[in-house]
Amino acid sequence: MGFTFQEIMPAIAGMTWQHLVMIAVGCTLIYLAVKKQYEPTLLLPMGFGAILVNFPLSAVLTQVQGGETVVGALNVLFDAGIATELFPLLIFIAIGAMIDFSPLFQRPSLLLFGAAAQFGIFITMILATIFGFSLKEAASIGIIGAADGPTSIIVANQFAKDLLPAISVAAYSYMALVPIIQPPVIKLLTSKSERKIRMKTDANKKVSRTTLVLFPIIITVMAGLIAPSSLALIGFLMFGNLIRECGVLNSLSQTAQKELGNLVTILLGITIASTMTAERFVQLDTLMILGLGIFAFVFDTAGGVLFAKLMNKFLKPENKINPMVGACGISAFPMSARVIHGMGLKEDPTNYLLMPAISTNVGGQIGSVIVGGLLLMLVPLFG
Amino acid sequence: MNIDILNKALQISGIGIATVFIFMAVFYFVIVGIDKFFPYKEEEKKK
C-alpha cells in the first residue's frame, strides 16, 4: 500500500510561499511586540495567531475533512466576537472605564482638535476611491486614520469584511508607531518658535462629581439624537466611563479596566489573526491599504497641527495654542499626548504640555468614535 | 477611477467633517454648561 507524500505530510506538501510570508509577518509582529514593545497586548496575539492560521489544514480554522466539516476554534471566536462586533464594543467599556474626562474641563475648546485631526480619514477615503476601491472599502481604509482599533474593526466589519485583516493590522500597528510617524510631520509643519509656545491651563481646576457623572449620560443622549448610528460606539464608551465616575461601582470599574479589558484584548488579537490567512492577506490590496493607512495618520496629524495654527491667528497672545498639541486630536491615547509632551520638553525643558495634550487626546478619542458612527450612517445613504 | 464614487466620497467627506465639528461644538457647550451649573465649589459647600 502506497501513500503519497501529500497524504502523510499534508501541511508540508500544501505549504506555499504565501504561507511562509505570513508566518514571517507573524514573527515580525511578535518581534515588534516583544523587542520594541509596540502595542504588545495586541500585536503579540495577532502575530502568534498569524502563525497558527497559516499552516495548511490548521485545526484552529474550520476545515472540511473527508466530507465532514470540522469547526475551528478561531472561527467560532470570530463569529461570536467580531462578526457580532461584541469584542470591540466590550473593549470600549474597558476604555471608557480607563478614561478620565476631567482634563477636558480645563480647556474645553481643545475638544475641537478631536474634529480637526480626523481630516486624514476623509482625505484617505477620497484617495482610496481614486485608487479604485469601492465607497465602502474606501471608508473602511480611511478609518485607519482614527488611530482607534475597535472603531476600525467595527467599520471594516460592516463595510469590507475581506479587508478586515489588513485594516486591523494597519490600525493597531500604526497606533504603536505614533512616536515614529507624528514627530517628523509636526516638525515639517511648525517653526521652532511655534513649538516653544507655552499654553495657559488651569491645572488646579477641579470638576464636581455631579458633572463627571452627567457628562457620559448627556453625551450619549446627544449622540443618540444627532447620529444614532454612533450610539453603539459612543454608548459603550460612555457606559464604561459612567461605571468609573458614578462612585458606587468601584469594583466593577476596576474589573472593566483590568479583567474585562485584558480578557477581551487577548481574544480580540488572536481572533483578528484568524483572518490573516495567506489567501486573504498576501495581495496587492494589502500593501495599498498599509500605504493608505500611513497617509491617513500623516494627514490626521497635519489636520490637527494646521487647525491649531489657524486658531492662533484669532487668539490673543496669552491664549495661543502650541500647534504640536493639535496633533493629539487622534485617538491613540495616551501615547500621542506623551509624544507631544516629550517633543515640547525637547524644545524647552520648562514647557510642560502634558495637560493640554491629554485634554486634546481625550477629545480625539471622542472624535474618532463620532467619525466611525458618521461613516456607518453616511456611506449606506450614498451607497 | 470611478468619477461617481469619487463624487460621493467628496460629498461624504464634506458632510462628515462639518458634522464632526458640529458634534464637538455641541459637546463643548455641554461641558461649559454642566461645569457652570454644577461647579466644584458648590458641591463642597453642600457637603
Spatial separation of the C-alpha atoms in residues A68 and A47, rounded to whole Å = 29
DSSP state of A146: G
Say if the Cβ atoms of B21 and A115 lie within 8 Å: yes
Inter-residue contact A379 to A159 (CB < 8 Å): yes
Q: Helix/strand/coil (H, E, C) string of A49-111? A: HHHHCCCCCCCCCCEEECCEEECCHHHHHHHHHHCCCHHHHHHHHHHHHHCCCHHHHCCHHHH
What is this model's ipTM? 0.88
To probe the interface with A, which of B4, B20, B30 has the most A CB atoms within 10 Å?
A: B20
Give the pLDDT confidence score for residue A1 in this predicted structure.
61
Give the pLDDT confidence score for residue A196 in this predicted structure.
94
Inter-residue contact A308 to A113 (CB < 8 Å): yes
* Closest residue on chain B to A383 (Cα): B8
Give contacts of B32 with chain A, Cβ < 8 Å. 108
A169-173 long-range contacts (CB < 8 A, ≥24 apart) are: A169/A29, A169/A46, A169/A272, A169/A276, A169/A290, A170/A144, A170/A289, A170/A290, A170/A293, A171/A143, A171/A144, A171/A146, A171/A147, A171/A293, A172/A39, A172/A42, A172/A43, A172/A46, A173/A29, A173/A32, A173/A38, A173/A39, A173/A43
Q: Pick from A219, A371, A375: which is nearest to B27 by CB?
A: A219
Whether a cis peptide bond, with omega within 30° of 0, leads into A334 is yes
| Cβ within 8 Å of residue A345, ≥6 positions away | A351, A352, A353
* Closest residue on chain A to B24 (Cα): A112
Q: Binning pLDDT at 50, 70 and 90, where does residue B46 land? A: low
Give contacts of A207 with chain B, Cβ < 8 Å. 35, 40
Give the pLDDT confidence score for residue A212 in this predicted structure.
92
From chain B, which residues contact A within 8 Å (Cβ)?
1-2, 5-6, 8-13, 15-17, 19-28, 30-32, 34-35, 38-40, 42-43
Residue A296 cell numbers, joined: 491617513
Give contacts of B12 with chain A, Cβ < 8 Å. 122, 125, 135, 139, 375, 378-379, 382
* Closest residue on chain B to A104 (Cα): B31
The tens digit of pLDDT for each residue in B2-45 reads 899 999 999 999 999 999 999 999 999 999 999 888 888 755 55
Strand partners, A64: A69
Q: Which of A277, A258, A261 is nearest to A74 (CA)?
A: A277
Mean pLDDT of residues grouped by 10 in chain A (383 residues)? 76 89 93 86 89 91 86 92 90 91 87 93 96 94 89 91 86 82 95 92 80 93 84 91 93 94 91 87 89 93 95 91 94 86 93 89 90 92 85
Spatial separation of the C-alpha atoms in residues A203 and A189, rounded to whole Å = 28
Q: Pick from B11, B30, B38: which is nearest to A208 by CB?
A: B38
Inter-residue contact A227 to A373 (CB < 8 Å): yes
Size of interface A-B (CB pairs under 8 A): 122
Q: Which of A48, A372, A346, A359 is nearest to A179 (CA)?
A: A346
Residue A193 cell numbers, joined: 518658535
Inter-residue contact A300 to A147 (CB < 8 Å): yes
